[in-house]
Structure 1
Amino acid sequence: MTSLLIFTDLDGTLLDHHTYSFAPAKSAMLSLKTFAIPCIINTSKTFHELLSLRKELNHLDPFIVENGSAVYIPKQLGLDIQEPLEDVGEYWLKTFGPKRKELIHMTDDQLDQYTFQRFSDMSVDDLIRVTGLSEENAKLAMQRQFTEPMLWTDSNQALQSLREHLKPFGVQIQKGGRFSHLMGEKCDKANAMLWLTKLYQDQLLEDQELITMALGDGENDIGMLSKADIPVVIRSPVHVPPEIPNRSDAWLTDDYGPKGWAQAINQVLEKQGIL
């Protein structure tokens, strides 16, 4: 028997880049629920941002926050977890990196050398102006725990220089759709996906095969896409689709955002003989 496990980015993928709507994907999402196929959110968003969004999506599966920095597993799923995890109310928490305060401290002395603005340097109004988020959602986006996004307005060469400076401290910079994210070197969407994939594989019988499908649109999705059995690049209205190294089988959707997401999901369900 074959089981399917979906990993999806949000902004520009399941959510429209401009409007944050997921309406075109509702039918495909319902199909996943109907066939009990887990759909793991793998996003740069924070735990607090996802609380209300998961209610809108009627999302009950595990979710990965802040670009692979942590995994939240709803206790109600009753998954058999063999390693000790942090108990945070309704969830089990698996973390992969340092706290946000450390990341901010490490870049304080770099503000005079490069042109960038961290979330911690912004007001709520600044973030609203940059992202178009509502005031409520902007406040939630600022409640980060494991990463620090930067609005990078310097050159790509300067960004690489900062990367080299931070590398000895075990810190990396991942470039997303709007922001570049300071985070621990082991914090990565792919690492979190692989950890969670193994957890789901451990729940299956020996003769069951687990196939992973990943969908994303940005540079920070490349690792996740490269490690999935079925990598799907969602076409973006604002940037060139990322190339997935050594994966000639990666799909590029015809449509943008949630509409392309739905087409890819439906195509895989049909190919697997589920639909």
Structure 2
Amino acid sequence: MSRLVIYSDLDGTLLDHHTYSFEAAKDTLESLKALKIPCVLNTSKTFAELLNLRTELKHNDPFIVENGAAIYIPKGTDLSIEEELEDCGSYWRKAMGPPRKALIDITSSKKQEYEFARFSDMTSSDIVNLTGLSVEKAIQAMQREFTEPMVWNDSETNLETFKNDLEKFDLQVQRGGRFTHVMGRHCDKAKAMNWLTEQYNQCTATESTKTMALGDGENDVGMLAAAEIAVVIRSPVHAPPEIPNRADAWLTKQYGPNGWTEAVNKALMQEGYL
């Protein structure tokens, strides 16, 4: 039996789109712990947001922040990584892209050409109004390290032009569930997932690693396309994203954490864990 490693988006996937609750997934999360199946959070959220949320989730596995821009590995895990990583207190960090300041400087030069509002242009009250987060969580969401989310107020045609403009600076633009994200061109959830999976492969040389990815947004497409088990979580607010060349991708019947639980339990049965 292959070792299963699960990569999960948060908002709209493990967390309910409207309430941010994960109540429906609690029992399945406990099952994964009992089965020693890593559940790697792969999200657009920040390191600051993940600290409190991981406590609520009782999460002890590695996690990926800001749409694949950085990977955090708790010290004391069974992963033995040969390359040098940044020491961040209780974690080792693998950065996949340039710092946020570079993104702010470059997009500032584009403000006369396009209509957008960046996180760096907003107050915590603005973020609360856009997301429904508490003030405390909105402040955590603003503590970006490697990406710059924005509200795109221009046309879809101009968004494509904007993407092309930023490619000259080795940057890319990805659409998420709520925001448009600017980041380094070599940052994405799939690349971060693949790097971390290779670390799991190295520490489990006697068995293969099988990846499962779950997500609901356009910024999850790369991760879903690269995983061996791809799960699109049904959303109450937008159509399911299409996964190129993956006719085998699952689409859940239920929304958010209910759909997440539906899919994970199906995979556990299919892979012989239950």
Calculate the TM-score normalised by the size of structure 2. Answer: 0.99
Match of 2:123 in 1: 123
What do you get for the CA RMSD once the two structures are aligned?
0.7
Q: Report the 3-state secondary structure (helix = DSSP H, G, I; strand = E; otherwise coil) of the residue aligned with 1:240.
A: coil
Cα separation, 2, equivalents of 1:117 and 1:193 = 29
Give 1:115 deviation, angstroms: 1.3
* 1:93 aligned onto 2:93: yes
Give 1:205 deviation, angstroms: 2.6
CA contact (8 A) 2:78 2:203 kept: no
Match of 1:47 in 2: 47
1:1-275 superposed matches below 5 A = 1-206=1-206, 208-275=207-274
CA offset digits 1:110-153 (Å, max 9, x no partner): 11221110000001111111111100000000001000000112
CA offset digits 1:191-225 (Å, max 9, x no partner): 0000000000001134x121100000000000000
Cα separation, 2, equivalents of 1:209 and 1:182 = 34
Unaligned runs of 5+ in 1: none
Q: Report the 3-state secondary structure (helix = DSSP H, G, I; strand = E; otherwise coil) of the residue aligned with 1:174.
A: strand
- % identical equivalent positions: 59
Tell me the number of residue pairs that the alignment of Structure 1 and Structure 2 aligns. Answer: 274
Calculate the TM-score normalised by the size of structure 1. Answer: 0.99
Q: Report the 3-state secondary structure (helix = DSSP H, G, I; strand = E; otherwise coil) of the residue aligned with 1:164.
A: helix
After the TM superposition, list the runs of 4 or more consecutive aligned residues in structure 1 that deviate by more than 3 angstroms: none
Cα separation, 1, equivalents of 2:153 and 2:23 = 33
Give 1:2 deviation, angstroms: 1.5
Unaligned runs of 5+ in 2: none
Give 1:78 deviation, angstroms: 3.6
Q: Report the 3-state secondary structure (helix = DSSP H, G, I; strand = E; otherwise coil) of the residue aligned with 2:268.
A: helix
The letter for the 2-side match of 1:14 is L
Cα separation, 1, equivalents of 2:107 and 2:191 = 24
Q: Report the 3-state secondary structure (helix = DSSP H, G, I; strand = E; otherwise coil) of the residue aligned with 1:145.
A: coil
Give 1:5 deviation, angstroms: 0.3
Q: Report the 3-state secondary structure (helix = DSSP H, G, I; strand = E; otherwise coil) of the residue aligned with 1:238.
A: coil
Q: Report the 3-state secondary structure (helix = DSSP H, G, I; strand = E; otherwise coil) of the residue aligned with 1:27.
A: helix
Cα separation, 1, equivalents of 2:205 and 2:65 = 29
The letter for the 1-side match of 2:4 is L
The letter for the 2-side match of 1:239 is H
CA contact (8 A) 2:214 2:224 kept: yes
The letter for the 2-side match of 1:243 is E
Q: Report the 3-state secondary structure (helix = DSSP H, G, I; strand = E; otherwise coil) of the residue aligned with 2:76.
A: helix
Give 1:85 deviation, angstroms: 0.5
Q: Report the 3-state secondary structure (helix = DSSP H, G, I; strand = E; otherwise coil) of the residue aligned with 2:220.
A: helix
The letter for the 1-side match of 2:272 is G
CA offset digits 1:141-183 (Å, max 9, x no partner): 0001000000112111111110111101100001000000000
Cα separation, 2, equivalents of 1:16 and 1:63 = 19
Q: Report the 3-state secondary structure (helix = DSSP H, G, I; strand = E; otherwise coil) of the residue aligned with 2:59.
A: coil
Cα separation, 2, equivalents of 1:173 and 1:183 = 7
